[in-house]
Amino acid sequence: MRRLACITAVSLAGLLVLNCDTSTPLPAFNLDAALPDTFIPPSEGGQQVSDAGPDGSPVVFGCQTVTDCSVLTTTPENCVTALDCIAGQCVYVAKDSDGDGHKIAGCKDTVSGAMFDGDDCDDVDPLVFPGAACTKDATGKAISFPGGTPQGTCKAGAITCASGTPACAGAVAPAAKDDCSTTTDENCDGVANDGCACNPTVDLPRDCGIAVGNCKTGKQTCVAGAWGACIGSTAPAARNCGAAKGEDFDCNGQADSAEAACLCGGKVAVGAKAKCDTGDLGICAAGTQTCAVDSKDSSFASFGACVPSTKAQAVNCTSKLDNNCDGVSDELEVGCGSPCLKNVGKAVVATPARQKFADNIYGCGGAVAWASRNSLCDGSKKFAAISPGLWVEYVNNVGLAASTPTAHYWTSQDIGWSGVGSANCSATTPGTGSSCGTEQPMRVCVDSTSGGVTDAYGNVCNWTNCGYNTTTNQHFGGCAGNLTAGTICRQ
């Protein structure tokens, strides 16, 4: 007969062995003692029997096969399975439902109170069992490794069931960046110390700065993966145009005083002088200026004021210079033989000549009508307007350049014009050619390549570079609309 109600349990080698024979107490399980003398091993097709029952017939007890073993009441529910029937005894083990080789942990027989060996606190997922690799941090958040796998100081953890639920222990996640004081790869990207300019455990202090000009090098130390300040160096400073010869404060390899910004006009050194034009007249026009460091920015130099080299002096009638700095050569000054006059109110006074062409030919500057041309010549010295023929003779004798006028001048005759344009222009003998109009004949004019010019007195010549009865330039020009001029006076 098969006994299905088992009331005594004995643990043997992690297995639960149930005694289904309730006729004899079993204080301690002894497999040999429990087996009857007539025991035939199940491997040989036998079953457990007693010597005899009350009626003398053999009595079958315990289990014959594992199918004879009853289902135990467990917590968690159904967490154990019958493994085998050994010597009529049912052997039970905790289940491995997910097949990962680890039996469920915490399985208990609620009748006997026996615990079944097992360490898997997740018997559903075959990838979750004690010792399985895992990549989660302490909060359970998944760890992402650069490249997909741990490298550098990173490592995977192992699953543990110590708390009754699966937990990942020992995983090391990537750091935000490498620790520049080590030689390892804390951010786990496969490159140690990437993003670090230096490593304080490896890199010794290094030279920094430049050793050019007034600059000198210093040392800098690696601190927290970055090179620190350059200590002991002399850095480039602003250029100093007033520096001593050879000094190079901006450390560009060129002495400051020799740099273009420190040379006035690109060539005059600080402290040196150069010629200049004061803007005054005569001998007062020439001056000198000194190159000096700019008062507001010492990195530049500039010329100072132009100082006259010579002050104004008394008139010297034998000098062609303008010694009194009034813009007129001394020999042309009033009192030195100038034949030029000027109306001042009702009085007529002597004035400096505009030009001296020869000892007895003067250009008297002014702006008078042709009818008043002789009013600029000193009649007391028998000076009067020169004829165009005498002017041409003078030009031919001294040359065109030497007789170039600096103002427009009347001559003594009412000359007309012929031809048109600078290539075919001539003044004509009185009574021939075309008239320019009443009181506005052609006259001696300042040369101009543009065909017209206004002189310093406001007189206008609209044609220039004409000849007298010829197209060769003899300084004639002007015509319609030219109402005033000075006068060439001759004794």
Tell me which of 61 and 79 has the higher pLDDT: 79
Measure CA of the first residue to CA of the last residue in the chain; give whole Å: 178
Chain position carrying tokens 């087996």: 35
136 conformational bin, left if phi > 0, alpha if psi -120 to 50, beta if neither: beta
Tokens of 180: 């520049």
What is d(CA 8, CA 21) in angstroms, rounded to the nearest whole number? 9
Tens of pLDDT, residues 242-296? 999 899 999 999 999 999 999 999 899 999 999 999 988 889 999 999 999 999 9
* pLDDT value at residue 147: 87
User: Contact at 8 Å (CB) between 256 and 238?
Assistant: no
Lowest mean pLDDT among 137-151, 254-268, 348-362, 431-445: 348-362
- Residue 221 has what pLDDT? 95
DSSP conformational letter for 205: P
Average pLDDT over residues 110-122: 91
Q: In angstroms, rounded to a whole number, what is the distance separating the alpha carbons of residues 271 and 95?
A: 106
Query: What whole-number distance in Å separates Cα of residue 31 and Cα of residue 89?
Result: 9
- The closest alpha carbon to 330, from 322, 341, 338, belongs to 322
Distances (CA, A) of 418 to 74, 231, 421, 422, 429: 143, 89, 10, 11, 10
CB under 8 A, 24+ apart: contacts of 101-109 = 101/129, 102/129, 102/130, 104/76, 104/79, 105/161, 105/164, 106/76, 106/79, 106/164, 107/74, 107/75, 107/76, 107/79, 107/80, 108/74, 108/75, 109/9, 109/16, 109/72, 109/73, 109/74, 109/80
The answer on pLDDT for 52 being more than 60 is no
Mean pLDDT, range 339-357, rounded to an integer: 74
Domain boundaries, the chain: 8-116, 144-199, 260-308, 332-490
Question: Which distant-in-sequence residues (6+ apart) come within 8 Å of 253 by Cβ?
Answer: 212, 213
Separation CA 383–CA 356 (nearest Å):
13
Amino acid residing at 21: D
Look at 29 and 259; give whichever has higher pLDDT. Answer: 259
Q: For the chain, what percent of residues have pLDDT higher than 90?
A: 52
| Run of H or E including 158 | strand 157-160
Q: How far is CA 190 from CA 151, 195, 362, 386, in A?
A: 6, 13, 101, 106
Taking the C-alpha atoms of residue 297 and residue 222, their distance in angstroms, rounded to an integer, is 38
Nearest C-alpha neighbor of 26 from the set 36, 18, 38: 18
How much is the average pLDDT of 416-434? 80
Work out the burial of residue 214: count CB atoms within 10 Å of its CB; fewer than 13 is exposed, 13-18 middle, 19 or more buried: middle
- Model confidence at 431: pLDDT above 70: yes
Q: What is the distance between the alpha carbons of residues 107 and 473, in angstroms, rounded to a whole number?
A: 134
Tell me the pLDDT tens digit for each residue of 450-479.
888 999 889 999 889 999 999 899 999 988
Res 61: pLDDT: 56
- Whether residue 27 is predicted with pLDDT greater than 90 in this model: the reply is no
Between these two residues, 297 and 329, which has the higher pLDDT value? 297
- Work out the average pLDDT over 170-174: 94
CA distances for 10 relative to 13, 50, 72, 124, 381, angstroms: 10, 21, 14, 29, 166
Q: Is the peptide bond before 236 cis (omega within 30 degrees of 0)?
A: no
pLDDT of residue 346: 58
Instruction: Please compute Rg for the chain using Cα positions.
Output: 64
pLDDT of residue 238: 95
Residues 192-248: pLDDT tens digits? 888 888 888 888 999 999 999 999 999 999 988 899 999 999 999 999 999 998 999
> What is the reported pTM?
0.42
Distance CA 243, CA 237 (A): 12
What is the reported pLDDT for 299?
94
DSSP 160-173: E-TTSS-EEES-BP
Give the H or E element holding residue 343.
strand 341-344
